[in-house]
Amino acid sequence: MKNIIFIAPHGTGKGTQCHLITEKFGFKHLSTGDLIRSAIKKQDAFAKELEKTINSGALVSDEIVLEMLKDYLKANEQAKGIIFDGYPRTLNQAFALDELMNELQEKIAKVFYLEITKEEALKRTMGRLICPNCQQSYNKFYENLKPQKAGICDKCGSSLITRDDDTEEAFNNLFEVFMKQTLPILDYYQNKGILKKIDASKTQEEMFKEVEEEINEA
């Protein structure tokens, strides 16, 4: 199984790269954010707590996220590859993932870091529109990413929505948390010799070309 990690601040187009990889390589996309959002749909007391945490831009506790991760990996043990999107977000999570990989006799083949300035990431976040039906994403601030008809999905015709946590306040919190807690992970993977930095000011196609080559070689 090829295990790869994506590390990037909010608003880099990380989700699109993960989607392109699943299409090209048939890997499973493990997004801890998506796992948490689907747990929130249950609407019980635990879900309400989770919702409060993620809407403030803070991190959910390590124990909760690790449990979700283990359940996902158990359900997908036959996968050709796993894309870890949104995990690890702290050094402790990176250590926990190493332990888990050892237990499963697996290893992390590559870690991609998508680099972007804070200004650009904010613009991309504030313009983001998502189709709640087919998950296609758009951006109202970029000509090449706008839907053909304002507010409507080109693919399935559903009304587009913004994510509840795509606010400037949540973005600023997320960016600060990223700088403090997630950036130290880069040194950790750099020292292991598996880190690849990608310039996220490039187009999605250009970024994917680099990503694809790296996965083929990993």
Residues that bind ligand AMP (CB under 6 A): 10, 32-33, 36, 53-54, 57-60, 65, 86-87, 89, 93, 174
Q: What three-state secondary structure class fits 161?
A: strand
Query: Dihedral, CA atoms, 162, 168, 170, 176, nearest 10 degrees?
Result: 140
Q: In terms of CB distance, is 34 or 154 closer to ligand AMP?
A: 34
Provide the minimum distance between the beta carbon of 12 and ligand AMP in the complex, in angstroms, as a whole number.
Answer: 11
For residues 87 and 111, give the distance between their C-alpha atoms in angstroms, rounded to a whole number. 11
Report yes or no: 127 and 139 within 8 Å, Cβ to Cβ.
yes
Provide the minimum distance between the beta carbon of 137 and ligand AMP in the complex, in angstroms, as a whole number.
Answer: 12
Q: In terms of CB distance, is 55 or 152 closer to ligand AMP?
A: 55
For residues 92 and 45, give the distance between their C-alpha atoms in angstroms, rounded to a whole number. 27
Provide the minimum distance between the beta carbon of 217 and ligand AMP in the complex, in angstroms, as a whole number.
Answer: 27
Provide the minimum distance between the beta carbon of 24 and ligand AMP in the complex, in angstroms, as a whole number.
Answer: 21
Which residue's Cβ has the minimum distance to ligand AMP? 33
- By DSSP bridging, strand 81-85 and strand 108-115 are unpaired
Q: In terms of CB distance, is 31 or 153 closer to ligand AMP?
A: 31
